[in-house]
Structure 1
Amino acid sequence: MHGPALVTWLLAALAVGSSLYCLARLRGPGLSCGAHAAAGRGRAAHEPNVAEALMGLGMAGMALQPGTLWGWPFALLAAAQVLAALRPGSPALRAHRLHHGIGALAMAYMALAMADGPAHEHAHHGTPSGLPLLTGALLLYFGCYALWSGSRLLSVPGAAVPGGTTATGTATAAADGVSRACRLAMGVGMFAMLLSM
């Protein structure tokens, strides 16, 4: 990633933290990083956790060590997610798969576009990598996604809800809030990586 080393390390830490949270949620029955997965059971219920964890680890790895090596696995993941989104199923799960397909496609694009960045940084300092129109479209998508995720995070009910919320309800609301915060962090991280191209 082009940019200050501190920003790169902070982005990697944020991505790893989100990824570890999603991996931890795999251990709980029916828990998911996204509310979208509530409609599914079994493998489908854990699919959003796995997708979020893979994206987080990939973002961290690519931020610290950019290269074309990251492009091919993300291109395969993008194809798998987009094809899965085309299959019949709940609209929420299909939207979640499509979002992860776009995210994986953006990661593949960044990996391939920034592959020669560190080697030629002095020769092309300040020259953007990639296709400006595609980069702009992805920036717009992830910027809007981050704003949408942030607005949803603000709508999570607090711990002190009138009407006698049970401890389980409060814990569920808190877990949903952390899940939304993870999605917001991933959206902002993707936006930052695209911006640094």
Structure 2
Amino acid sequence: MHGPASSGWLLVALCATTGAYCLLRMRSRVEEQRRAAGGEALMGFGMAAMAVPAAAFTPPPWAWPVYAAVFGAAGLRALWAARSGRHHLHHLVGAAAMVHMAVAMSGSPAHGHGASGLPVLTGVLLLYFTGYVLLTGVRLVPVASGAGAGARAGAGAGGLPAAGWGDRPELALACRLSMGIAMLAMLAAV
């Protein structure tokens, strides 16, 4: 993405860290979490690679069509997986956003602009990811329980979750939130 180098490197670090955590989540005992984590790891590492500042590394011209093909395939996989659960539609939108950014970065003349000079598809994706980030952020806000502070259902000793740290839904949600914020930053830079 074409922006200041310091914010670009922060974006690379955020996306790579999120991708690494998603790889660890692939070790979950829950199959659905493993599948979702694989797609999210691909997205995190792909976003990290795409966010490297142009001053540090300019990818060869053939890299952008490769990005588009990889994320196009990931989008088709998400579309196929959406038959079993609608949450895969978010992965489809994320893959479409990555394809869109790859096409924009390749300098394709097919990149249409709306009346304001902002590409229409970029604007739609910005609206989607803004809503996603806000909704996900609200879902992370703790809700007071009427049963007391330490009496959560399914909690192990000391009120900690019985599941491993890779299976904690709030960590997965925080990763999705950070990738949504990173996607917003990347789309705004297109």
Aligned with 2:174 (options 175, 178, 181): 181
Q: Superposition pairs for residues 110-129 of structure 1, below 5 Å?
A: 110-116=101-107
Q: Deviations over 1:104-124 (max 9, x none)?
A: 01101101111239xxxxxxx
TM superposition shift of 1:45: 4.0
Structure 2: distance between partners of 1:157 and 1:95 = 28
Give the aligned partner of residue 14 of structure 1: 14
Contact 1:11/1:60 (CA < 8 Å) preserved in 2? Answer: yes
After superposition, the Cα gap between the structure-2 partners of 1:99 and 1:153, relative to the gap in structure 1 and judged at 3 Å, is same
**TM-score for the superposition, normalised by structure 2:** 0.78
TM superposition shift of 1:169: 5.4
After superposition, the Cα gap between the structure-2 partners of 1:56 and 1:156, relative to the gap in structure 1 and judged at 3 Å, is farther
Q: Which runs of 5+ in 2 are unaligned?
A: 53-57, 114-118
TM superposition shift of 1:195: 0.3
Q: Which runs of 5+ in 1 are unaligned?
A: 31-41, 118-128
After superposition, the Cα gap between the structure-2 partners of 1:102 and 1:168, relative to the gap in structure 1 and judged at 3 Å, is farther
After superposition, the Cα gap between the structure-2 partners of 1:183 and 1:156, relative to the gap in structure 1 and judged at 3 Å, is farther
After superposition, the Cα gap between the structure-2 partners of 1:104 and 1:54, relative to the gap in structure 1 and judged at 3 Å, is same
Q: Deviations over 1:65-105 (max 9, x none)?
A: 563331111111112211321x2x3xxxx222110011001
Is 1:81 matched up with 2:78? yes
Structure 2: distance between partners of 1:192 and 1:107 = 13
Q: Deviations over 1:139-163 (max 9, x none)?
A: 00001101111111113679x8243
SS at 1:95 equivalent: coil
After superposition, the Cα gap between the structure-2 partners of 1:173 and 1:113, relative to the gap in structure 1 and judged at 3 Å, is same
Give the aligned partner of residue 25 of structure 1: 25
Number of aligned residue pairs: 167
After superposition, the Cα gap between the structure-2 partners of 1:27 and 1:173, relative to the gap in structure 1 and judged at 3 Å, is closer
RMSD over aligned Cα atoms? 2.6
Give the aligned partner of residue 69 of structure 1: 66
Amino acid in the other structure paired with 2:16: V
Structure 1: distance between partners of 2:126 and 2:25 = 29
Structure 1: distance between partners of 2:149 and 2:49 = 40
**TM-score for the superposition, normalised by structure 1:** 0.75
Contact 1:106/1:138 (CA < 8 Å) preserved in 2? Answer: yes
Give the aligned partner of residue 98 of structure 1: 89
Aligned with 1:141 (options 123, 128, 132): 128
Structure 1: distance between partners of 2:99 and 2:140 = 28
Give the aligned partner of residue 156 of structure 2: 166
Structure 2: distance between partners of 1:179 and 1:99 = 14
